[in-house]
Amino acid sequence: MVRRIKQRERILTLLRESATPLDAHGLAETLDLHVTTVRFHLTGLSDQGLVHAQPMPVTGVGRPRTGYVAVREPSYTDLVALFAARIGGDATERELKAFEVGDDWASLLRLQPEPTSDAGSLVIDALARLGFQTQTATSAFGTHDITLCTCPLVEIARSYPEVVRGIQRGLIQRVLDDNAVTLGRRYVVDVRPDPDDGNCRVRLVLHPGDPTAPETESARGDGQVATG
C-alpha cells in the first residue's frame, strides 16, 4: 500500500513539474514502471480530481494518445495576478488602485495589539497572517526596517512591481493608521520589493503628527515609495 502511494506521488510530481501533457508510456519510461501500473495510478488521480486527461497531437500512424496534466489549485496569488493584469492605467494609477486594495485587505485582519506593541512587531504580526515570513527586523531612532524571507506576491512583482508595492504599502499603512493611538505616533511606510530573490524590503519611516488627529488622505496615500 505504501509503495503504491509513493508511486502515485511520483507520477503526480512529474505532471506538476511538466510544462506539457505527459502520457502513460512516457511516465512509465521515466519512472521505470509498467505502463499498466501507471495507467492504474492515472485513473485514481483523475478520480480524485488531481489530474486532467486530454488528447495529444498525433505525430504518426497509430491511435491518438491521451495526455495528462496536473490540476492546479487556484490561490489568492492567482487572483491578484488577474487583478494586476486588468487594472489598467499607467504605473502610478495602478499603484494607487493597488494601495486601496491593500488597505481593504488589512481591514479584514482585526488586529488586537498589546498596549506595549511597537510599529515593527505590529506590522510583522499582520504580514505573518498574510503569508509573509520575516527574516530580520531592526529599530533605531523611531525607524523600523523589516526584511522578509518569503513574499507570497513575488511572482506578481516580477511583472507588476507597482501593484505589489501598492498592495503592501496599503495594507501596512492601514495597520499603522488603525493603531496610531496605541503606538503613540503616526508612521508613513516606504516599501521596496525585490522580486529577484523573493525578499521584500519594508521600511517604516516615522511621520510626526498628533496621534489622536483624524487620519488624512495624505497620511494614507502619499508615503515615500522607492523600487529596490
Burial class (CB in 10 A: 0-12, 13-18, 19+), 142: middle
Beta-carbon count within 10 A of 181 CB = 10
Convert the pLDDT of each residue in 1-36 to its tens digit: 677 788 899 999 999 888 889 999 999 999 999 999
Q: Taking the CA atoms of the chain, what radius of gyration do you get in angstroms? A: 24
Give the start-end residues of each E strand in 9-116.
Answer: 22-23, 51-55, 66-70
Domain residue spans of the chain: 2-70, 76-221
CB half-sphere exposure, 28, CA atoms < 13 A: 14
Percentage, residues of the chain above pLDDT 90:
23
Question: What is the CATH number that goes with domain 76-221?
Answer: 3.30.1380.20
**Residues 6+ positions from 60 with CB-CB distance below 8 Å:** none
Listed range (36-50, 120-134, 162-176) with the worst mean pLDDT: 120-134
Per-chain mean pLDDT for the chain:
79
Q: Which residue type is seen at 180?
A: A
Fold of 2-70: Arc Repressor Mutant, subunit A (1.10.10)
> Which tens digits make up the pLDDT trace of 93-127?
999 999 999 999 888 877 776 766 788 888 888 88
pTM of the model: 0.61
pLDDT digits (tens, 9 = 90+) for 41-83: 999 999 988 899 988 877 666 677 899 999 877 676 777 888 8
